[in-house]
Each structure stands twice: as C-alpha cells, then as structure tokens.
C-alpha cells in the first residue's frame, strides 16, 4: 500500500484535491463507508461565489466578516472569495449541473448575504457536486478509491537532515476484511469532515466523528476555535429519522413553533418570533426543552391548505409521511441539531498543518474563514478553494520528498476476546448525551466543569478498551469522539464571553477584543508562531 499521496476522506474536499493533482502521481482515497455517505452528498444548499456584475468581492468579504462575529481572518476570507469564481468554473467544466435560467445560471440569496450569489443545483447541490467528482475520480487511472476503510492513526517518521518528524502514512482499519493495514505515502491529506456526531442530535451522516481532528491532535498538531459548533434549529425528531433537516422555508411560509401543550414560545425570545436568526431559534428551543424536560418541540404548518403544502414542500411532506407524520394535520416533532464544526486543525492558505507532510482541508480544518459563525454556503466553497491550493503546494514539492520508511505493522498482541461491546455502546451514548446537556447550545461554567469531569473518566476507560479490545468502527469513532469532546470542552472553558455560536449564561456579553482559542498538544513541534488566548 505505497502511494505518492494518501487522501483520507472522499467528500468534496478530498475528491477535488485528488482530481487537481498531476496524473503521474499515484493517489489513494479512503472512504469510511461507501463513497456517497459523506456530508457533501447530503448538502441541500449551494455554493457562494461572486459570479455577476451586481456583486463584488468586497461585498462577499464584508458579509462573511459580519457573520463571523469578529473572528474571521480577513486574509483567509479574501483568499477564499477571490478564488470563488475559478472554483465554480472548475466544477462546471467537470460537469456539475447547476440550475440555469434564461440569463444564465440561477443565483439565489441566503441568510447573511447582501446579494444573490448562491449557485445551486435545485435543492440538492451536494449530490450534483459529489456525483461529478465521484465519476471523475472513478475514471482516473491514477486514483484508487478504498471504500469501507477507516483511518486509525497517522504514521510519523524522523527526518535525519531536519531533525523533525513528518507524516508518512496511516494505519487503516479495513472493515470488509476486519483487519488493520498500513498505507504509506509521501504526503497525507486529511479531508475527514466535521465532528457533529459528538452531540446527541446532529444533521450530519454517521461518519462525522471528528476522526481527522483527533488523529492530527494525537500526532502533534494544534487546533483552534473548537467551541464554535453551528446548530440547525429544526431537525426531525424520530428514532428512525436520523439526520433529516426540516427546511427553514417552512417557517418562512408561516410555520409556528409550539410546545407539547400547543402554546407558542418564540415571541418570548425575539421580536421576529419564528423568523428570528438561526442561533436565536436554536437557543430558544433548547431552553424550552430543558425547562420542561421535553424530548422535542413541534413545528406546525397545519393551518396551510394541503394543496399549498404539496406544491411548496413535497419533499418534506413525503419524508415526514414515511414516519407517519401528516404535516397537513399535525405538528412536526423537531429538535436543534449539531450541524457544522467551525473550528478544527490549524492550517495555512496551502492547507499545511504543523506536521510536515500532513495537510488538512474542508470541515476538519481551521482556515480562519468561518470565525465564530459560518455564513451560509461558504463551506463547499472552502472545500474546493483549499483543495486546489493544497494540490498546487503538493505538486510543487512532492518530487523532492523521500520515499516513506518501512513501518512496523499494527500491534494487536495485547488484544483479548471480549463480549463487552455493550460497554462501548453505553459510553458512546453517555458521551453524546452529556455533550448535548452540558456543552450544547447554551453553556455555563458549572456545566463545563461537569463535562470536564465526565470526559476524563470516559477517556481513561476508552484507552483501556483500545489496548485490549479488537479494533472496530465503533471503538475507533468512540475514541476519536472522546478526543474531540475534550477539545470542545477545553475551548469553551477558556472563552470567557458570548460570541457567535458560543453562548454562556455566565458571560452573556462579547469581550472588547476578539481572539481565537488555540489549543496546543503536549507533543507540538512548534512549526509556526503560537497565538494564545487567556
């Protein structure tokens, strides 16, 4: 398993990078499940870009800065927006079928944007983008895609001339063969997506367990702004519904949020009631659920005629009907759900991390673009722009890099047979529940202290399991989620203010100075200057 480049992740970021590298390089792309199971496939929105004369780069930059609560890095925002048109043109050349109108491509507008700049493919942009990327990758002779392969840990080796370590591959669990394999590469790229599965309720698919962030942290890379987790206000609450988002357009057409007794509550939190900003609605629902001890609230649009709903919301009607919910006659049970990880592995404009030979792109990375709150439709744009930038940097240096040294096989000599899978399942559920209750939408100092105590106990148990239990997908994800949970708790504890997506009852106001929260692992090698927060 020797390659020039190992890409861990098969979403928009990973596939775009693989397709942007020279054809003479051998590339391996790992997918945790089947290639279509990542977040990109489920993205309903579009991609923000400056594509007409009515808009401007300056306007897109200023909109992004305003949404980011003072924490966006202007240089990263400008870099991303200036490359937005080229990114879209590349996707069009690849065959992505964006929605058109008589004058050209149809552009829509979303929250936070001052212009129509969202190019989309109906209401399933992610599928259109991933379908084109996947087809091109499967057709490329130099790209090998390994489905059902889960990375466990990164491999490092010492460089004799620089006295530094560099990434040289990864240990990977082959789910089909039920064994651990070693993938060697001159360069490794993390494109593993976010970590929203650390919460009890999430809009993300099952694979969003923060694997790349956890692996990079264990390998000595810094992370930043992990306390900023974006929550979508209305996710369908049903044991079999998993991650179905109930579109915000329902509230735009008059849907009301109601408590289990049928009473409304949003007017108590914001003058715009159900049309308040997303974070306000999410906090209000969270408050009422905790106050009442209820499992959910209800989004009610039953006052609209059935014909209207069938015309405007056929997808929502069909999906809810699959779970026995007739939205023309009853409210939709909803809960807020973790939606997007704004922080991540610290990188520069080329996607380079603190570890030589290791890159990170997409949602697992921290570029400075999103700040304290991600603006709609900037995420897919970030994937494409930084994939291209990282590919250029890799291309410029990979021919000069040494071949990876032969590494030891995965050590499973201490593994013993165990029937304690129920313990892993229990701890998995416990972690996600205390993260939801103590480190969720609304936080307090006491809640964070409780979470700190619980995660320390849990991590001790998990490391014991990891030494003696047979490797499994659930164990790998539990281990990574525990790392990510610790990083989120530590970051939230350090931020003594409320800003963007981080809201603390103990510190309800924003500080005069906006600073990033940067965490440094004990094995950090010190490649770039540290910017710390008190």
Active site residues: 278
Query: 532 and 495 in contact (C-beta within 8 Å)?
Result: no
Q: Is the dihedral of CA 129, 130, 131, 132 positive or negative?
A: positive
Q: Is 522 helix (H, G, I), strand (E, B) or coil?
A: coil
Tell me the two tokens of residue 209: 């367990």
Closest CA to 108 of 93, 96, 95, 125: 125
Alpha carbons 194 and 207: distance in angstroms, whole number: 9
Strands (E), 191-255: 223-224, 229-236
Query: 192 and 11 in contact (C-beta within 8 Å)?
Result: no
The label of the residue with tokens 């700040």 reads 371
Q: Is the dihedral of CA 354, 358, 364, 366 positive or negative?
A: positive
Alpha carbons 177 and 252: distance in angstroms, whole number: 49
Tell me the two tokens of residue 488: 């989120």
Closest CA to 25 of 388, 395, 404, 387: 395
Tell me the two tokens of residue 343: 């922080």
Query: 416 and 468 in contact (C-beta within 8 Å)?
Result: yes
Residue 450 is inside which H or E element, if any? helix 445-468
Alpha carbons 118 and 222: distance in angstroms, whole number: 32
Q: Is 160 helix (H, G, I), strand (E, B) or coil?
A: coil
Closest CA to 31 of 146, 196, 152, 122: 146
Q: Is 356 helix (H, G, I), strand (E, B) or coil?
A: strand
- Classify residue 354 by burial, with Cβ atoms within 10 Å: 0-12, 13-18, 19+: buried
Count CA atoms within 13 Å of residue 72 on its CB side: 24
Closest CA to 459 of 218, 191, 266, 285: 218
- Classify residue 376 by burial, with Cβ atoms within 10 Å: 0-12, 13-18, 19+: middle
Closest CA to 335 of 250, 233, 254, 247: 233
Q: Is 2 helix (H, G, I), strand (E, B) or coil?
A: strand
């Amino acid at each position: 398993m020797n390659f020039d480049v190992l890409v861990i992740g098969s979403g928009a970021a990973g596939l775009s990078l693989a397709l942007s590298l020279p054809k003479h390089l051998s590339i391996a792309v790992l997918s945790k499940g089947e290639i279509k199971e990542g977040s990109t496939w489920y993205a309903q929105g579009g991609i923000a870009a400056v594509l007409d004369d009515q808009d401007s780069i300056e306007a897109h930059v200023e909109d992004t800065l305003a949404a980011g609560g003072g924490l966006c890095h202007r240089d990263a925002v400008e870099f991303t927006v200036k490359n937005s048109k080229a990114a879209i043109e590349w996707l069009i050349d690849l065959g992505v079928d964006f929605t058109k109108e008589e004058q050209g491509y149809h552009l829509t507008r979303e929250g936070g944007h001052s212009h129509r700049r969202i190019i989309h493919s109906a209401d399933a942009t992610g599928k259109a983008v991933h379908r084109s990327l996947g087809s091109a990758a499967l057709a490329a002779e130099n790209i090998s895609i390994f489905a059902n392969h889960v990375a466990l840990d990164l491999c490092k080796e010492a460089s004799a001339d620089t006295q530094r370590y560099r990434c040289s591959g990864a240990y990977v669990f082959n789910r089909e063969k039920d064994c651990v394999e070693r993938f060697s590469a001159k360069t490794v790229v993390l494109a593993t997506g976010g970590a929203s599965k650390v919460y009890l309720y999430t809009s993300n698919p099952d694979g969003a367990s923060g694997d790349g962030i956890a692996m990079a942290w264990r390998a000595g890379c810094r992370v930043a702004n992990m306390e900023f987790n974006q929550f979508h206000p209305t996710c369908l609450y049903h044991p079999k519904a998993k991650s179905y988002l109930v579109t915000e357009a329902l509230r735009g057409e008059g849907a009301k949020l109601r408590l289990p007794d049928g009473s409304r509550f949003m007017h108590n939190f914001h003058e715009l009631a159900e049309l308040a900003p997303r974070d306000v609605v999410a906090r209000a629902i969270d408050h009422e659920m905790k106050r009442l001890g209820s499992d959910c609230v209800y989004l009610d649009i039953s006052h609209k005629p059935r014909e209207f709903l069938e015309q405007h919301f056929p997808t929502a009607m069909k999906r809810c009907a699959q779970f026995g919910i007739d939205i023309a006659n009853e409210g939709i049970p909803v809960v807020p759900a973790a939606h997007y990880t704004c922080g991540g592995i610290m990188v520069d404009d080329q996607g380079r991390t603190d570890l030589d030979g290791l890159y990170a792109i997409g949602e697992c990375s921290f570029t400075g673009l999103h700040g304290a709150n991600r603006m709609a439709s900037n995420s897919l744009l970030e994937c494409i722009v930084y994939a291209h930038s990282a590919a250029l940097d890799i291309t410029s240096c990979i021919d000069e890099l040494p071949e990876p040294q032969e590494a030891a096989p995965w050590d499973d000599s201490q593994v013993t047979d165990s029937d304690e899978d129920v313990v892993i399942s229990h701890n998995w559920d416990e972690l996600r529940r205390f993260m939801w209750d103590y480190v969720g939408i609304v936080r307090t100092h006491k809640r964070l202290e409780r979470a700190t105590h619980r995660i320390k106990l849990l991590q001790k148990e998990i490391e014991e399991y990891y030494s003696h239990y047979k490797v499994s997908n659930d164990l790998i994800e539990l281990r990574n989620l525990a790392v990510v949970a610790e990083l989120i708790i530590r970051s939230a504890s350090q931020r003594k203010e409320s800003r963007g997506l981080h809201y603390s009852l103990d510190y309800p106001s924003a500080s005069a100075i906006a600073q990033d929260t940067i965490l440094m692992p004990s094995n950090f090698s010190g490649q770039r200057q540290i910017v710390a927060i008190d």
